[in-house]
Structure formats: C-alpha cells, structure tokens
C-alpha cells in the first residue's frame, strides 16, 4: 500500500472541496457581484485589509496551486512513466508550486499594505 | 429488414497484408444476433473469417468484440438493435491474433496479480465453506462477471497505462475482499491500492457502461478506494 | 465475394478512441481534463497579472483597465465556463468518492451541466451591459 499516493489522492479531494468554497467567494465578490466594472487597486486593497479576505486569498493561492499541479501530475501518471521520470516530475512540480506560492503571496502584500 | 451489411475487420499476420474491413451482405432472420450473422458469413460466404465463441448464451465471455461503437458480446447483441449496418472489429487495445481474435494475455496476467481465488486461514472443512445468504448478497453483483474483457478494453486508463490492472481484475479483488470467507483482504489491498491499481481509476464509467452483465464495476472500485483510504489514513 | 471497405467515416467509427463513440461518463472525464489543464495555465497568468501591483497602484490599475476590453471580457467568460464545469463536475466526482450517486452517474452529469449553464448565464447577464 502506497501511503504517499493515497495522501495525494485525498488532498486532491480536500483542496477541490476547499476551492469550491473559496473560489466561489472570490469569483462572486471580486469579479461578478459588481457587474464587471473594471477592478481598481484601492478597492482590492480595502478588501484585503480584512482578515477574512486575507484568509480567502491565501487559501485560494495554496489550494489552487496544489490542486492544479497535482492535477497535472495525475494526467502525466496516466501515460506510462518510469519511477525515475516520476521522481523528476514530482520535484519539478513541487518547485514550480513553491516558487509561485512565494511569488503570489508576495504579490498580495502591496494590497494589504495599501 | 431482409438483408443488412456486415463489415468485418480482417487481419492475418501471415499474409503480409494491411488490416482491412470486408463488407458482406447478410440475409436477416428474426432474432438474429451478431454472432449468428458471423456464422452466416462463415458458413455461406467466406470460410476464412476467424472469431472466438463458445456458449452462445452470454455466460462464457468468449465473443466480446467492438460492435458499432461499443464493446459488446456478439452473442448477446441483436442485429435489429444496430440497424442495417453492422461493423465488427476485435476488442481494441489488445494485440490482434487474427481477424476478430485478440490475445488476452495482458488481461489474464493482470487478473492473476490480484490472486483471484479464495484464501482462507481456517482449516479446510469436510465439504464446502458455507456462507450466510446475507453475506453472499454483498457479492452477488461481482460474482456475475464472466471475464469477457469488454470493460478492460473500454477503459481509457488501460489505453494509455500499460500496467494498469484494469476494471475486471480490480472488480475481482473487491469480490474477494468483500467475501466473508476470505482472509486475505490486506494482501489484496496491498496490490490494489497502488499506482497500477485503484488510484489509476478516474471514474470514467466506460466499464460500467459496456459490461454485458450490467455490473457497475466502478462501484466496486470506489469501495476499494474507500477501504484503502480508511486503512492508510484514519 | 466481400467488398473492401474504403469509406473513411466507417473506419473512423470503428475505433473506440473516436469521440463519436464516447459515452456520457467519458465526455465528463475528457471535459474535466481539458478544463483542468486550461485552468492551470490560467492560474499562472492570473498570478502574473496581480503581481503588477508590486510596481505600485498605478501600474495595477493600468493593467486591469487594459484587460477590461470586450475581447478580454469574452475570454474571461470562457475561463468562467471552464471553471464552472470543472468545479461542478468536481463535486460530482467527490460525491462518487463518498459513495453517493455511483449508480446514477449519467443523471449527475446532466445535473452538473444544467447548473453550470444556469450559473454561467447569471454571470454573463451581470457582465453583458459592458459589452
């Protein structure tokens, strides 16, 4: 029994369910409830000064990166790859995920500082 | 319908020709199955076509083929349900031996991996190992499998993943895991809860759609996943 | 004597990989894959767009103003359609993992489609006045 494999499968479900919630909040408040007016810095900043939206946005960033990159991994695993190739793939995806998490988290700081 | 067109996939590794489809005009009889149509051609038009069959009654699983866009048993498929054009080819994604006959070796090799037999730790009894009717009910559906290979051939994870065990073997694994007389659940879960096992299944449901015995194979695979998750994580 | 089949459409239909032969669950899976891969690409673009805020409010506002043209709004709608399908079919898959609806997968696919289209129309109605 491959515990790591089962965790990856399980977390894909957990992040998926989480995304359903936080992505729903994000899409509605940021993009659609306002009728699609152009988004401006001051408005995003005002929202991101609240703890709720800091939690929503950072959770969104983390969930979306895990779910998306593990999803890519799931696709690749369907195509007969060797254990060696799988190790390279896992590392590559982990590094890409970390870089974009750090960069994305950093990109939100000007809004929080306002 | 007096007559219909039957197109048959032709391939003979020894004649050096490319695979092709040959079309035959076949007289229709009421209640004619695709298997009977193949016999009609074999007996009266072309003695060179090769296909596999045995029971003619959907219990042996020998005549699974790809018929008009779906994986089916030739003996169970009414020509009438297909219309005036019937196209028959061997089960896809298995090596073709000749015409409609495929090599089932990969299917059986994977089937053996899940140990498709009862493993009981208790002493063998005098006669049989009795089972409570309630316990037997839990495996009624899975026991219906006739190992025809239709599900295996229809699964897109089999198409791209060489070592994926496939729906039939995993169904059989659950059949024994759920059997009250079997003591090797752990051993079986160890084989099944792997990359080549249930985690490769993405619930596409092709297996359940094509099963000639109407077994919802995906349901059993979902049960195996649930057991594996519970055992490994909680 | 048999006649050799040359009609390419017959040969195409004789393969189970041909989309015309896909069944409901197969379409659900194929769409889930395509939208999933598309959304992964979009995430990176989205992070890059937001990161213009690092250069100050003015550059962020300028970037988002530029992205507010009809062309980009239509492209946004395509992303939204993908996200709606992927999320709702994801719920369908999640229910299967909880043991719910495994014997009703076709009906669940159509339910996903109905809800996705309805939500999509609500969103489009919100944005439509801008086009």
Please check whether residue B40 touches C, CB under 8 A.
no
Q: Given pLDDT bands bounded at 50, 70 and 90, which one contains residue A38? A: confident
| C102 with B219: Cβ contact below 8 A | yes
CATH class of segment(s) B3-102: alpha beta
Ramachandran area for residue B118 (φ above 0: left; ψ -120 to 50: alpha; else beta): beta
Instruction: Convert the pLDDT of each residue in B181-195 to its tens digit.
Output: 999 999 999 999 999
Q: What is the mean pLDDT of chain A?
A: 94
Indicate yes or no: CB of B228 within 8 angstroms of CB of A3.
no
**Tens-place pLDDT, residues C45-90:** 999 999 999 999 999 999 999 998 889 989 999 999 999 999 999 9
Residue boundaries of the structural domains of chain B: 3-102, 105-233
- To the nearest whole Å, the CA of A83 is away from the closest chain C CA by 23
Q: Give the span between the Cα atoms of B177 and B197, in whole angstroms.
A: 14
Q: What angle do CA C77, C81, C84 make, to 5 degrees?
A: 130
Chain B nearest CA to A51, separation (Å) = 32
Q: Which residues of B touch A9 (CB under 8 A)?
A: 199, 225, 229
Residue C63 forms contact with A (CB below 8 Å): no
Which residues in chain C are contacts of B203 at CB distance < 8 A? Answer: 25, 29, 93, 96, 102, 105
Of A65, A75, A107, the CB nearest to C53: A107
Note the pLDDT of residue B99. Answer: 97
Taking domain B105-233, whether its CATH number is 3.40.50.9100 is answered by no
Q: Where are the domains of chain C?
A: 23-130
For chain C, list the strands marked E by DSSP: 3-4
Gap from B118 CA to chain A (nearest CA, Å):
21
In chain B, the residue whose alpha carbon lies closest to the alpha carbon of C97 is B222
Which ipTM value was assigned to this complex? 0.94
Q: Give the pLDDT mean for A33-56.
A: 90
Distances (CA, A) of B13 to B51, B216, C11: 15, 36, 20
Question: Which residues are bridge partners to B85 per DSSP?
Answer: B5
| Rg for chain C, CA atoms, rounded | 21
End-to-end CA distance of chain A: 50
Under 8 Å between Cβ of B157 and B201:
yes
- The fold adopted by the segment(s) C23-130 is 3 helical TM bundles of succinate and fumarate reductases (1.20.1300)
Helices (H), A1-50: 3-26, 41-48
CA distance A84 to chain C (A): 23
Burial class (CB in 10 A: 0-12, 13-18, 19+), B54: exposed
In angstroms, the Cα distances linking B90 to A104, B52, B67, B94, B164 are 52, 10, 9, 8, 20
Residue of B23, B153, B205 with shortest CB distance to C3: B23
**Complete domains list, chain A, with CATH:** 3-113 (1.20.1300.10)
Torsion on CA atoms A104, A106, A111, A112, rounded to nearest 10: 120
Phi-psi map region of B225: left, alpha, beta (phi>0 left; psi -120 to 50 alpha): alpha
Give dist(CA B48, CA B16) in Å, integer: 16
Q: Which residues of chain B have pLDDT under 70?
A: none
Cβ pair B210, B71 in contact under 8 A: yes
Residue in chain C nearest A11 by alpha carbon: C94
Q: Do B193 and A2 touch (CB under 8 A)?
A: yes
Q: Do B228 and A1 touch (CB under 8 A)?
A: yes
Q: Which structure tokens are listed for C17?
A: 């990989």
Whether B150 and B91 have beta carbons less than 8 Å apart is answered as yes
Q: Taking the alpha carbons of A8, A14, A18, A23 in that order, is the dihedral positive or negative?
A: positive
The nearest alpha carbon in chain A to C30 belongs to A75
What is the rounded CA–CA span in Å between residue B215 and residue B170? 13
Q: Is the pLDDT of residue C129 over 90?
A: no
Q: pLDDT band at residue A33, thresholds of 50, 70 and 90?
A: confident
Which residues of chain A approach chain B closer than 8 Å at the C-beta? 1-3, 5-7, 9-10, 74, 77-80
- The pLDDT of residue C11 is 93
- Enumerate the H helices of chain B as residue ranges: 34-44, 105-113, 133-137, 140-143, 150-154, 156-160, 167-177, 185-192, 206-210, 217-233
Looking at A11-95, which runs of residues are DSSP E strands? Answer: none
- Token pair 């015409």: residue: B99
pLDDT at C131 over 80: no
pLDDT at A1: 60
Q: Which of residues 67-96 of C touch B (CB under 8 A)?
A: 93, 96
Q: Is B219 on the interface with C (CB under 8 A)?
A: yes
Would you call C57 and A110 a contact, using CB atoms and an 8 Å cutoff?
yes
Contact (Cβ atoms closer than 8 angstroms) between residue C70 and residue C124: no
- Indicate yes or no: CB of C65 within 8 angstroms of CB of A38: yes
Inter-axis angle of helices A3-26 and A51-77, nearest 10: 130
Q: Which of B57, B52, B155 is nearest to B100 (CA)?
A: B52
pLDDT of residue C31: 98
Domains B3-102 and B105-233 share a fold: no
């Amino acid at each position: 029994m491959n515990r790591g494999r089962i965790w990856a499968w399980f977390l894909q479900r957990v992040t998926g369910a989480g995304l359903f919630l936080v992505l729903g909040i994000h899409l509605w408040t940021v993009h659609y409830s306002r009728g699609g007016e152009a988004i401006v810095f001051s408005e995003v900043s005002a929202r991101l000064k609240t703890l709720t939206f800091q939690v929503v946005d950072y959770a969104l960033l983390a969930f979306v990166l895990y779910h998306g990159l593990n999803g890519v991994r799931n696709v690749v695993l369907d195509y007969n790859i060797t254990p060696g190739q799988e190790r390279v793939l896992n590392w590559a995806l982990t590094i890409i995920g970390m870089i974009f998490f750090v960069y994305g988290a950093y990109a939100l700081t000007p809004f929080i500082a306002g | 319908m007096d007559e219909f067109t039957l197109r048959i996939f032709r391939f003979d590794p020894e004649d050096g020709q490319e695979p092709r489809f040959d079309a035959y005009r076949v007289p229709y009889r009421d209640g004619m199955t695709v298997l009977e149509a193949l016999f009609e051609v074999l007996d009266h038009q072309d003695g060179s076509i090769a296909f596999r069959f045995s029971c003619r009654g959907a219990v042996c699983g020998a005549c699974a083929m790809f018929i008009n866009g779906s994986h089916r048993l030739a003996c169970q498929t009414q020509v009438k349900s297909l219309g005036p054009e019937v196209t028959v080819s061997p089960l896809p994604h298995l090596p073709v031996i000749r015409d409609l006959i495929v090599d089932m070796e990969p299917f059986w090799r994977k089937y053996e991996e899940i140990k498709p037999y009862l493993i009981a730790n208790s002493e063998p009894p005098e006669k049989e190992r009795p089972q409570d009717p309630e316990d037997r009910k839990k495996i009624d559906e899975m026991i219906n499998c006739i190992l025809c290979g239709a599900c295996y051939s229809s699964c897109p994870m089999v198409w791209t993943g060489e070592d994926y065990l496939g729906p039939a073997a995993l169904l059989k694994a659950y059949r024994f895991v759920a059997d009250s007389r079997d003591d090797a659940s752990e051993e079986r879960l160890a084989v099944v809860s792997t990359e080549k096992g249930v985690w490769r299944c993405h619930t596409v449901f092709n297996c359940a759609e094509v099963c000639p015995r109407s077994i919802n194979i995906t349901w059993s695979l979902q049960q195996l996943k649930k057991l594996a998750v519970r055992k490994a994580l909680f | 004597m048999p006649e050799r089949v040359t009609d390419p459409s017959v040969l195409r239909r004789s393969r189970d990989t041909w989309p015309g032969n896909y069944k409901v669950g197969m379409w659900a899976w194929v769409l889930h894959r395509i939208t999933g891969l598309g959304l992964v690409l979009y995430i990176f673009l989205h992070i890059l767009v937001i990161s213009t805020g690092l250069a100050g409010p003015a550059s962020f506002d300028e970037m988002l103003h530029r992205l507010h043209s009809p062309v980009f709004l239509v492209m946004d709608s395509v992303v939204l359609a993908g996200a709606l399908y992927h999320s709702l079919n994801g719920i369908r898959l999640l229910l299967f993992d909880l043991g719910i609806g495994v014997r009703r997968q076709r009906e669940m696919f159509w339910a996903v489609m109905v809800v996705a289209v309805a939500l999509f129309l609500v969103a489009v109605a919100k944005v439509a006045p801008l086009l």
